[in-house]
Structure formats: C-alpha cells, structure tokens
Amino acid sequence: MVTTSRVFGSGQPASRGWRTRDIVVAAVIAVAFGVVFWAWGFLYNGAEPLFAFAPWARDVLYGVWLMPAVLGGLIIRKPGAAVYCELVASTLSAVLGSQWGGLVILQGAVEGLGAEIVFAAFLYRRFTLPVAALAGLAAGAFAGVWDTFAYYATNNLLTFQVPYVVITALSAAVIAGAGGWALTTAVARTGVLDRFPVGRERAVV
C-alpha cells in the first residue's frame, strides 16, 4: 500500500539546534554556489552589452545570486541557515576572485538576511512554494537596495534605481524562490535528503 507523507513544506523542524549533518550540508550548498557565483560573475558582466538599451533589464538574471539563501532555509530549516549559506558562498566567491572584491562578503550577509527574515516570520515552520518565493523576493529586494547604495547611488531614482530593485526582487522570487523550491523538492524525491524533514515529506511506502 502506498501512502504519502505531509505536503512538501508543511512540516516542522525537529529542533532549533544545528546538528553536524546540518553544518555539512549547509557547507556543501555554500561551497557549490560560491564556485557558481565566481563563474556567474563573468557571464553576468559579459551580458552587459546585450542590455545596453536598458542596463537594469540585465537583472532578470539576478536571482541566481540568491539561490543559496533560499536553499539553505528550505533544507536546513534552522535559524541562521539562509544567512550562513549566502554568506559563505559570497565569501568563497571573493576568495576565488570576484570582480566586486571583498564587498560581496557583506553583501552576502545582507542578501541572506532578507530571506532569513521571511523564514523567521513563519517561525521556521512553513516551507511551501509561496514562502520560498517570498523569501527569494525579500532577498532580492535587500540585494537591490544594497546595490543602489553601493554601486548606483548616482543613477536616476525613477528611471534606474526603482526599476532595478523591482526587477531584482522579482527575478529572485522566480529563480531563487520558486526555482529553489523546485530544486529542493526534486532532490528530496531522490532520497538524498531523507535525514532532513524535507526528505521525509515525500511519498513513502
């Protein structure tokens, strides 16, 4: 007889304390995306000429930068997971030679905080698609506002800064939020995450 466990994202974390496996998996997520960040930076900058007509439009791709924050929150389900994954990923990208230098380390903390606030608002008990999208949206909004102060302070508010923040947030909601949720559930169904709550929220015999 085949039954199904709870709907994805409806479960609760076993405890607030971090286990060794939580640290290891969070580190794997962060390191993997640290390398992705480093490579993605070259592609992201290389695409700039394609968006010369509207420089802020390039940021439809921005959500990639926020993936570890959402993935960390969805998989680890512990306070600090979103910030930890995003911060470590950003730090590694800086060590590997990010074009933006060490400033990305602080930026990573800010981006992770955006997602963290959403997971905390749901008391680390809801990890559904809408929550993941909202976490991505918040991370993207935090990232966009950070960028306008750090890199685009002299750009026009209405023609650049506002569209930039809106597009960054929406990109993160779709790519990091919905995309992160889809990736998490797909990986969970393979059984790799069976020792985590998300892995136990799949069909079982």
pTM for the whole structure: 0.85
In sign, the C-alpha dihedral spanning 194, 198, 203, 204 is: positive
* pLDDT class of 90 with cuts at 50, 70, 90: very high
pLDDT in tens, 176-198: 999 999 999 999 998 889 888 88
Decide: 105 and 80 in contact? Cβ < 8 Å.
Answer: no
Q: Domains of the chain by range and CATH?
A: 3-204 (1.10.1760)
Decide: 167 and 143 in contact? Cβ < 8 Å.
Answer: no
Look up residue 61 and give its two tokens. 């791709």
- CA 54 – CA 21 distance, rounded (Å): 44
Query: What pLDDT is stored for residue 5 in this prediction?
Result: 41
* DSSP annotation of 168: H
- CA 133 – CA 141 distance, rounded (Å): 12
